[in-house]
């Protein structure tokens, strides 16, 4: 463990491609953080195997071993705190979090969600965007609050919907953008450029009036063109 770097824990329930993107960014020297723990509610999650291969401590907790959501989340967050993590990333973590249990992490916890929030909180975001006839879809990274997928949005990656898109194709085309968006936002948070003032995000000391937008050049001004 390199104790001079910000310490980050990641929670993931599935295959872990967003975790892989974080690890790759770190390997490439683009994300100077120390991953101290990868946790999951699914012992079989691919994300745990990725973490093991990268030499990162892992944690698998089974929600069925706890009397209720709050008990599970309190134990989970206690263990994350014990890992020394200062920041927490939800990278495909598919459980709703208890509002009281998550409170100590507000402002230090981000989530990636596959829609242009505030559109399509919850599940089946690609299908819902197609059914609505949207011309534009995307992904958002937001601070996690007690409101499901409802915390302040920090940054978004936009994608033009194409004629041949179905749910699967749209998800596949969006994923590479997610894989750039999440490390870029974590980098800002870890560097201190992105902060939480108790109610809202601040970027370089200023309120963030609109989400940052991912372009070929990284995160920047919302008026930049669409990512293709
Ligand atoms: C991603 O689409 C993410 O936006 C959503 O869940 C999916 C996780 O994929 N929250 P992976 O496990 O990171 O591959």
Residue 17 C-alpha to ligand 1 middle, in angstroms? 7
DSSP state letters, 124-170:
-HHHHHHHTT-SEEEEEEEE--SSTT-SPEEEEEEEE--TT--HHHH
Helix (H) or strand (E) holding 38: strand 34-40
Residue 91 C-alpha to ligand 1 middle, in angstroms? 6
Give domain status of residue 53, yes or no: yes
Give domain status of residue 22, yes or no: yes
Spell out the long-range contacts of 220-223 with Cβ–Cβ below 8 A and sequence spacing 24 or more: none
Give domain status of residue 225, yes or no: no
User: Which domain does 46 fall in, by range?
Assistant: 7-220
Give domain status of residue 154, yes or no: yes
Give domain status of residue 1, yes or no: no
The DSSP bridge pattern shows strands 153-160 and 136-143 to be antiparallel
CA atoms within 13 A on the CB side of 61: 21
Residue 100 C-alpha to ligand 1 middle, in angstroms? 25
Closest atom, ligand 1, to C-alpha of 16 = 12
pLDDT at 89 over 90: yes
124 catalytically annotated: no
What digits encode the pLDDT tens for the residues 24-36? 999 999 999 999 9
CATH number at residue 132: 3.40.50.170
What digits encode the pLDDT tens for the residues 147-194? 999 999 999 999 999 999 999 999 999 999 999 999 999 999 999 999
Give domain status of residue 129, yes or no: yes
Closest atom, ligand 1, to C-alpha of 178 = 4
Give domain status of residue 50, yes or no: yes
Q: Is the CB of 41 under 6 A from ligand 1?
A: no
pLDDT at 228 over 60: no
């Amino acid at each position: 463990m390199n104790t001079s770097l910000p310490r980050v824990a990641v929670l993931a329930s599935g295959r872990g491609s967003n975790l892989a993107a974080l690890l790759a960014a770190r390997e490439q020297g683009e994300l100077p953080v120390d991953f101290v723990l990868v946790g999951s509610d699914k012992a079989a999650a691919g994300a745990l195997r990725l973490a093991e291969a990268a030499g990162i401590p892992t944690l698998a907790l089974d929600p069925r071993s706890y009397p209720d959501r709050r008990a599970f989340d309190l134990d989970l967050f206690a263990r994350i705190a014990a890992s020394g993590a200062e920041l927490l990333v939800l990278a495909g973590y598919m459980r709703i979090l208890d509002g009281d249990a998550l409170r100590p992490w507000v402002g230090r916890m981000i989530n990636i969600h596959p829609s242009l929030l505030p559109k399509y909180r919850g599940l089946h975001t690609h299908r819902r965007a197609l059914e609505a006839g949207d011309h534009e879809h995307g992904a958002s990274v937001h601070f996690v609050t007690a409101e499901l997928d409802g915390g302040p949005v920090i940054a978004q990656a936009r994608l033009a919907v194409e004629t041949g898109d179905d749910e699967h194709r749209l998800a596949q085309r969006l994923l590479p953008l997610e894989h750039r968006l999440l490390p870029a936002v974590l980098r800002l948070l870890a560097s201190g450029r992105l902060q939480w003032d108790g109610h809202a995000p601040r970027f370089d000391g200023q309120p963030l009036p609109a989400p940052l937008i991912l372009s070929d050049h990284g995160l920047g001004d919302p008026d930049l063109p669409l990512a293709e």
